[in-house]
Structure 1
Amino acid sequence: MQTIRAAVCHDFGAPLEIEEVRLAAPGAGEVEVTLEAVAVCHSDISYADGAWGGVLPAVYGHEAAGRVTALGPGVARLSEGDRVVVTLIRPCGHCPACASSRPTICENPPDGAEGPLATRDGGALFHAMACGAFAEKVVVGAAQVVPIPEDMPAESACLLGCGVITGVGAAVYAAGLRPGQDAVVIGAGGVGLNAIQGARLAGARRIVAVDRTEEKLADARAFGATDTVLADDAAPWRAAKAALGRGADAAIVTVGAAAAYETAPRYLAPGGRVVMVGMPHSGDAAGYEPVLFAATGQGMIGSKMGDVVIARDIPWMIDLYEQGRLELDGLVSRRWPFEEINAAIADTRAGGARRNVLVF
């Protein structure tokens, strides 16, 4: 085992502590990646707050990019020196979900307690989200990484590991938007801006962004929203329907707030669907009248990581980025030294950042 630095969560809700930890060499089918950048995602913060339970101590972080520096046995499609984006999607390749091209809901997720990390003295250290990317290096499955161009900025590339694929995929795959249809995107943060981009790429006629601040709505317009509505208005769904001239074919909820889910069906046209992306805390609940869904042919569907297949979809998105059709660079709010991770987390909590990125 080698020694690296990582930001460790010892207590839920407490600042992360940068310390030396042990990292095992890659095993069969695994690669070691020396990281260049890792983004701060709200999911990392929720996990570190204990919102969904979990095991401590742990290393979070799951939206990263870097360079392959070691290969485990049996890895054939990658070479040392390759630059890659690292994702948390680690498919087993043989369960019913993987066999039907839905690796984001693989039925055999890895056990983080059996991961490659250990404390400096050899104690247990949870490898969270199959990544543990708040660290100088990671060891992950070869299927979790996708090559990126040599000249692509790491701070932009790392966003393809989660926020971009989640938002774009929610619009393109989960919502199944078709040219001429209409979308409402609730929440104009990092994932919401990418859902807006996905709706635009899918050919949506109108895209209404809903958020609580004018600053976020200005971001939404810059990323392709045709109309914007303040969420704190008395009945924002009425303003959205007025802008559309009808209800939406898809209302994509990208914020982890039960209240947003409670009102989302109000934005829909008959036959429309709510796409559930944002993740409220465990125990939070929203209520509905089932008869309204039945009578209008509406529905609700969960979307995990945009329902993407990374080997197919990340190269597609990189191509769009290189053509200027998918904005990545503008998603980066600020670059922070890894040592300032707690300040970057605090800034993300404040709600104004598109994405804060830690650089090594």
Structure 2
Amino acid sequence: MKAAVLSSAPGKLDFEDLILDEPGPHEVLLRTAAVGLCHSDLHYIDGTWSTGLPEVLGHEAAGVVEVVGAEVTSVRPGDHVVSCLTAYCGNCAYCLTGRLALCENNGELRKRERPALSRADGSSVGRMGGLGAFAEHMLVHQNAVVAIDPAMPLDVASVLGCAVITGLGAVFHGAKVRPGATVAVVGCGGVGIAAIQGARLAGAAKVIAVDIQKSALDKALAVGATHAVDAYSGDPVEAVRTISGGGVDYAFEVIGSRHTAEQAFSMLGRGGTATILGMVPDHTPIQIKGSDLFFDEKKIQGSFIGSNRFPVDIPYFVDLYLQGRLHLDDMISLRLPFSKINDGFDTLRGGGVTRIVLDMSLEQS
């Protein structure tokens, strides 16, 4: 099968013909239908983050089940599915208390006796997060996918597995935004746009979008933000505090920098909660005032891939989309064939896009 392989970083993806192993007892073989391009993938390509090489990246995908292992019970051939990085064991303390994203056996589920992907010379090729979605087929654990309503277009469904579940999940599960609350979202890319929609769906009274690009702010206003703050035109913290009447109840940071994480915390009113969705680089300290934590009861927390329960969350999000309540079509700025994957990442580097999706069906047209 054809796959886009990262062999050196910084670098680019090279197309190779790889050998795909047969599914194990708990594994599922999928035909990849569509894959979203995520900044996490770009960080690995550009060498900002390190990973084992060679590797097939890609983790935000939708596809169709072709073959299932002997002990697979959750899906069957022909099912339309969405993948998620947070494969879960279902037996550890985190899974049993509903915190599937923190499953302590996630890594164990990815281990195999033989490599899932290999080159003709027998050398193995890794799969990002046990998925490796930049390929014509994916071989994954059954607890890394969930079946969805076939009425859902697969190209749109692909963005559910990372951008949407991270943004909506952080609102619903991580922060637990309450009706009537005030919310600020710092960074209005794919995850930020999803968080804004989550805040709208949760019944927030004010949803304040913060970004440096007018196009991103316009998109935010179109999907549910009530106010927009251009972070280049002045102090975004003061602007948010003014709009909200003294500080928001919930702030979400969706960029992944120390500066914006500290800004999100500073935007809070008394008793507020800042949730960090962006991956702040390792060893980067975040500085906040201890008096704010104590006297004002402010909180700062992380939310890993939306603190998700994806087997339940993703079908729910599909229902919201099919009901017209969750707007996903406008989140996709560009659709490209698989062969144009490097062009897609060049576009992503340039900014100004919400999500780029590789539609595998375009290769056949």
TM-score range, shorter chain: over 0.9
SS at match of 2:124: coil
Give yes or no for the alignment of 1:93 onto 2:90: yes
TM-score of the superposition, structure 2-length normalised?
Answer: 0.95
Root-mean-square deviation over aligned CA pairs = 1.4
CA positional deviation for 1:113: 7.2
- Once the 2 structures are TM-superposed, how far is the Cα of residue 118 of structure 1 from its aligned partner? 1.7
Aligned equivalents of 1:15, 1:81: Cα separation in 2? 33
- Distance in 2 between residues matched to 1:189 and 1:118, nearest whole Å: 35
Which residue does 2:363 correspond to in 1?
none
Equivalent of residue 65 in structure 1, options 54, 58, 62: 62
Alignment partner, residue 117 of structure 1? 117
- Indicate conservation of the 8 Å contact 2:152/2:318, yes or no: no
List per-residue Cα deviations over 1:90-114 (Å, max 9, x = no partner). 1122121111111111112226675
The reply to whether residue 103 of structure 1 matches residue 104 of structure 2 is: no
Measure, in 2, the Cα distance between the counterparts of 1:358 and 1:80: 23
- The 1-side partners of 2:75 and 2:234 are apart by 54
Runs (4 or more) in structure 1 with deviation over 3 Å come to: 111-115
CA deviation profile, 1:92-151 (whole Å, cap 9, x unmatched): 221211111111111122266755122232112111112100100001111211112223
Corresponding letter in the other structure for 1:343: D
2:40 alignment partner AA? S
SS at match of 1:143: helix
Distance in structure 2 (CA, Å) of the matches to 1:78 and 1:265: 42
Secondary structure at 2:28 match in 1: strand
Which residue in the other structure is 1:335 paired with?
335
- 1:224 alignment partner in structure 2: 224
Secondary structure in 2 matching 1:8: strand
Q: Is the 8 A contact 1:170 1:277 kept in 2?
A: yes
Could you tell me how far 1:317 is from its partner in structure 2?
A: 0.8
Question: Comparing 114-123 with 134-143, which one deviates more in the overlay?
Answer: 114-123
* Matched residues, number: 357
Matched, 1:52 2:49: yes
Aligned-residue offset at 1:236: 1.0
User: What amino acid maps onto 1:187 in structure 2?
Assistant: G
> Partner of 1:54: helix, strand, or coil?
coil
- TM-score, reference length from structure 1: 0.96
Output the amino acid matched with 1:218.
D
Equivalent pair of 1:6/1:136 in contact (CA under 8 Å): yes
CA displacement, residues 26-62 of structure 1 (integer Å, 9 cap, x when unaligned):
1111100101110101111112233332211111100
The Cα offsets for residues 229-275 of structure 1, whole Å up to 9 and x where unpaired, read as 01123321111122122311111001122210122111001110110
Q: Distance in 2 between matches of 1:236 and 1:301?
A: 21
For the pair 1:137 / 2:169, whether they are aligned, the reply is no
C-alpha contact 1:39 1:158 (8 A) present in aligned 2: yes
The aligned residue for residue 283 of structure 2 is: 283
Note the C-alpha offset of 1:281: 2.8
CA contact (8 A) 1:277 1:302 kept: yes
Aligned residues of 1:155 and 1:332 also touching (Cα < 8 A) = no
Query: How far apart are 1:183 and its partner, in Å?
Result: 0.5
Distance 2:9 2:328 in 1: 31
SS in 1 for 2:121: coil
Contact 1:113 1:125 in 2 (8 A): no
1:297 corresponds in structure 2 to: 297
CA contact (8 A) 1:6 1:21 kept: yes
The letter of the residue matching 1:337 is P
Given that 2:168 and 2:306 are in contact with CA atoms closer than 8 Å, whether structure 1 keeps it comes out as: yes
**Equivalence for 1:164:** 164
Which deviates more, 200-209 or 282-291?
282-291
Assess if the C-alpha contact under 8 Å between 1:7 and 1:59 holds in 2. yes
Distance 1:113 1:30 in 2: 11
Unaligned runs of 5+ in 2: 361-365
Q: Structure 1 unaligned runs (5+)?
A: none
Residue number among 31, 40, 48 corresponding to 2:28 in the alignment: 31
* Number of the residue aligned with 1:43: 40
Whether the 8 Å CA contact 1:187–1:253 is kept in 2: the answer is yes
Evaluate the alpha carbon distance shift between residue 307 and residue 81 of structure 1 in structure 2; reply closer, same or farther with a 3 A threshold: same
Match of residue 347 from structure 2: 347
Whole-angstrom CA distance in 1 between matches of 2:184 and 2:120: 48
- 2:235 is the counterpart of 1:238: no
2:183 is aligned with 1:183: yes
Contact 1:51–1:282 (Cα < 8 Å) also in 2: no
SS at match of 1:110: helix
- In structure 2, the residue matched to 1:14 is 11
